[in-house]
Structure 1
Amino acid sequence: MDAGGREDERASAVDHVVAAIRDLIRDRGLNVGDALPGEIEIAAMAGASRNTVREAIRILKAYGLVESRPKIGAVITDRRQTAVNALLSFAIDLSAESFRDIQGFRRLIEMNLGEVLVGRIGAAEIADLRRLNAAMAAAADPFEAARLDFLFHRSLVDAAGNRTLAEIYAMLEPVIRRLMETGKSLRRAREGAAAEHADIVAALERGDRLGFAYHMSRHLDAGLEYIPAARADGPPERGGR
């Protein structure tokens, strides 16, 4: 067999192992963060050599589908969506229109959280929300303030207990954080966001679903004040970030 034939055969063997790993992930219901079996187990399952298994995993790493972690081995990840969203977050034009589009999406998710969270969220989660809010208000760096702002909202979504919803929200982190950075260098913006967060938490604590939706709605509109194009159109209703 010539060199070209051997290369084709090796490529075919690697493709076979990649397909076997894909089937294993599906059949065992593995998700992002779960570890793959060891090389020996995969080799036995796929009827391949360990070298072929290593090459298959190397390809999966190159595509951002797995990563190696010390003492754990190959772990399922998915950096592709993160990379796409990071690129989008830098490319997005923070106009009044794009702000309304992003906040409109968040409104569909976050305004309705009160229906689920009231009666479900506990004292420890309320305390964590207050801790994140205080840290955001005290942050001097606008990027750190935006990170803490996102964690506050992500904590609300996570507390609802819907895994799919939480995963979708997490995927949009780079885009949402880019929007949250707007105005965060201004003390009044951070203080305004912190006050609105406090109103949202207080509504949750007293079991006020309508109050939660009201304060969340105002909060999700407030950052429009810091979009230059929007300021030319006049002041928005008071809301949040």
Structure 2
Amino acid sequence: MRANGPELQDRIIDLILDRGFAPGAAMPSEPRLVEELGASRNSVREALRALHTLGIVEIRHGYGTFVGQAPLTAFAPGLLYSTRQSVRSDPAALGELLEVRRILEATLIEQVVERADDAFLAELDDAVTAMDAEGLSSADRNFHQLLYRPLHNRFAGQLIELFWVVYHQVESELEPAGDPEEIRRGHRGIVDAVRAGDPAAAKAAMTRHFTDIEARVARVRAHHHAPA
């Protein structure tokens, strides 16, 4: 029986893992995959294209196909589309996304406190200072990327980046953000708690950081469900 698209993709992934191909390694040629998988050339080509979209393989035209890094951010287009569609019918969908991000960051920040050194704290100070010189959105992104670096947790960093990108793409559905200075003070409060070596205070500061955003989502939701 001929494999369908998703099944063929799974078989290619199994081939990569079973043979221990590392990211960047060359994949077997397309004719070889056709022979080994017992699938048509078009089916293999379509499966590789689908895996390329997910970052699992990298198609370099003229050179061949290679094993990709498969970053979680490859899922951003799908998550963004799903979130935007959901927000149009019920803004609560954005609140759900924010809730997951808040829980993740508020939990991880406690571990950051345990690993922060003077050099790292100086970088965080510079990141907060940059919020005065750069656009607040760009500086906020850099701050959150930097904040969890001491954990050396690739998946956590990519998840936070994924949530950040999707949220800021959908943010236009909300009312404007609060006072920029208040937002900067919120970031400063997080750094101060980390510097004090207080995990509970750091978690509380991170939770407060999401208060304004969640309040904006709640107001949009209330307006959406208000009687006409």
Alignment TM class, shorter chain as reference: 0.5 to 0.7
- Return the letter of the residue paired with 1:152: F
**Partner secondary structure for residue 87 of structure 2:** coil
User: Which protein is bigger by CA-based radius of gyration?
Assistant: 1
Matched residue, 2:48 = 60
Matched residue, 2:117 = 122
* 8 Å contact from structure 1 (residues 225, 231) kept in 2: no
Q: 1:109 aligns with which of 93, 104, 107?
A: 104
Q: Which 5+ residue runs of structure 1 have no aligned equivalent?
A: 1-10, 234-241
Q: Are 1:229 and 2:226 an aligned pair?
A: no
* 8 Å contact from structure 2 (residues 84, 170) kept in 1: no
**Partner secondary structure for residue 24 of structure 2:** coil
Percent same amino acid among aligned pairs?
A: 22
Q: Are 1:163 and 2:154 an aligned pair?
A: yes
Q: What's the TM-score once normalised by structure 1's chain length?
A: 0.63
1:201 Cα offset (Å): 0.9
Matched residue, 2:25 = 36
- The superposition leaves residues 83-124 of structure 1 with CA deviations (integer Å, 9 ceiling, x where unpaired) of 211213433428774454233222321222233112312334
Q: Which 5+ residue runs of structure 2 have no aligned equivalent?
A: 224-228
Aligned residues: 212
Q: Which has the higher contact order (CA 8 A, sep 6+)?
A: 2
Indicate how the Cα distance of structure 1 residues 24 and 124 shifts in structure 2: closer, same or farther if over 3 A, else same. farther
1:128 Cα offset (Å): 3.3
Q: Are 1:209 and 2:204 an aligned pair?
A: no
Indicate how the Cα distance of structure 1 residues 199 and 179 shifts in structure 2: closer, same or farther if over 3 A, else same. farther
Q: 1:81 aligns with which of 70, 75, 84?
A: 75
Q: What's the TM-score once normalised by structure 2's chain length?
A: 0.66
Indicate how the Cα distance of structure 1 residues 30 and 116 shifts in structure 2: closer, same or farther if over 3 A, else same. farther
1:58 Cα offset (Å): 6.4
1:130 Cα offset (Å): 3.2
* 8 Å contact from structure 2 (residues 112, 148) kept in 1: no
Find the aligned partners of 2:26 and 2:97 in 1 and give their Cα distance. 39
